[in-house]
Amino acid sequence: MIYFDNVSKVYSSDSVALDSVTFAVEPKEFLSLVGHSGAGKSTLIKLLLAEEKPSSGNIYFESIDVHELSRKEIPYVRRKIGTVFQDFKLLPHKTAYENVSFALEAAGRDDAEIAADVPHVLELVGLADRADHFPHELSGGQQQRVAIARAIVSKPDVIVADEPTGNLDPLNTWEIVRLLGKINELGTTVILATHDKEIIDTIGKRVITFKNGRVVSDDKKGKYRL
C-alpha cells in the first residue's frame, strides 16, 4: 500500500537525509522505523506526506505517485494518513478539541459525527478534561496526546507516528503503544518511528533500521540493534 522506490533526499551536498531507500509496506502491517538521531526517519515521513520533494526516486501511496499529485489533490491523500508529528504541529489558536475536530471539518464530515467522535478519542488519550485548553496551556506530554488523538480520529487507512512517546512518562508510553497495537489489530496500517529500544523489543513486529539515510536492515520480527 506504501512503496518507496529508490528514494534519495539531499537537502544540500553535506546533508544527505535519505540515500537510495527502497521498501514496501503492506496493508495492516505494523512497521517500526529505527535509527539514530539524524538518520532520516522524519524526512521519510515528510516525503510520504508530500511536505518535501524527493531528490530522486518515487513514493507510492495505494499505487498513486504522491509527487505527481497537484496541490488540489494532495489533501485527499493526507486525509487517508493520520500523522503524529515529532513536533506535534498543533494549531496554537485552537483548543485541544478544535485541533482534533479541525481535520474532520476540513474533510467535510458532518457535525453529528464530529460531535460524537472527538470527545471519544480525547477520552481515549486521557484528555477529556482538557478539551477546552489551548496548546500553550498543556504539558508537552498532553500536547503529544492531542496530536495522537488528531491522527486517529478520522480512522485513516494508515497511521504514521513520529516519536509519539518522546514526551510521555512510562505509563502513558505504554498506553499509547497499546493503543497503536489495538488500532493495528482493527486493521489500520501503523508506521512508528522511534529510538526507544524497549518499545521496539516489546512490539516484536517488523523493524527497518536506518543509518545515515540508508536502510541497514529490514527484519520481519525485529529487535532494536544499533
Partner 1 sequence: MIFIHIKRIVLGSFVSFWRHGVVSFTTIMVMVLAIFMVGSLILFQVLLTSTLDQVEQKVDVIAYFKLDAPEDDILQIRELLLRTSEVNSVEYISRDRALEIFKDRNSDNALIASALDELGDNPLGASLRIQAHSPGDYQSVDRFLREGGFSSIDKVNYRDNELVYERLALVLSVARQTGLGIVVVLGVIAFLVVFNTIRLAIYTAKDEIGIMRLVGAANWYVRAPFLVEGAMHGVFASVFATLMFWPLTLWLGPKAKSFFGGPDLFIYYTQHFGSFFVTLLLVGVIIGVFSSFVATRKYLKV
Ligand X SMILES: Nc1ncnc2c1ncn2[C@@H]1O[C@H](COP(=O)(O)OP(=O)(O)OP(=O)(O)O)[C@@H](O)[C@H]1O
Amino acid at residue number 133? H
The reply to whether 167 sits near Mg ion by the rule CB under 5 A is no
Choose among Mg ion, ligand X, partner 1, none what residue 205 binds, the Cβ cut-off being 5 to 8 Å by kind. none
Q: What is the DSSP letter of 108?
A: T
Residues 45-84, one symbol each (x = binds partner 1 by CB under 8 A, - = not), give ----x-x-------------------xx-xxx-xx---x-
Nearer to ligand X, 126 or 166 (CB): 166
43 contact choice in ligand X, partner 1, Mg ion, none (CB below 5 to 8 Å, kind-dependent):
ligand X
Q: Is the dihedral of CA 71, 162, 107, 143 positive or negative?
A: negative
- For residue 113, the partner it binds in partner 1, ligand X, Mg ion, none, with Cβ less than 5 to 8 A by kind, is none
212 Ramachandran zone, left/alpha/beta (phi>0; psi -120 to 50): left
40 binding partner (options partner 1, ligand X, Mg ion, none; Cβ < 5 to 8 Å by kind): ligand X
* 86 contacts Mg ion (rule: CB under 5 A): yes
Contact status, residue 44 vs residue 4, Cβ threshold 8 Å: yes
H-state helical runs in the chain = 41-48, 74-78, 96-106, 111-124, 140-153, 170-185, 197-203
CA distance 205 to 4: 19
26-64: b or e for each residue (b if 16 or more CB lie within 10 Å)? Answer: eeebbbbbbbeeebbbbbbbbbbbbebebeebebbbeee
Stretch that binds Mg ion, among 38-46, 94-102, 143-151, 168-176 (CB under 5 A): 38-46
β-sheet with 81-84: strand ranges across: 81-84, 158-162, 189-194, 30-35, 206-211, 214-219
| Among Mg ion, partner 1, ligand X, none, residue 150 binds (CB under 5-8 Å by kind) | partner 1
Q: Which of 36, 53, 89, 178 binds partner 1 (CB under 8 A)?
A: 89
**Residue numbers at the binding site for ligand X (CB under 6 A):** 11-12, 15, 17, 35, 37-43, 86
From the list Mg ion, ligand X, partner 1, none, partner contacted by residue 17 (C-beta under 5 to 8 A by kind): ligand X
Contact at 8 Å (CB) between 30 and 205? Answer: yes
Binding footprint of partner 1 on the chain (CB under 8 A): 49, 51, 71-72, 74-76, 78-79, 83, 85, 89-93, 102-103, 105-108, 110-111, 150
> Which residue ranges make up the site for Mg ion (CB under 5 A)?
41-42, 86
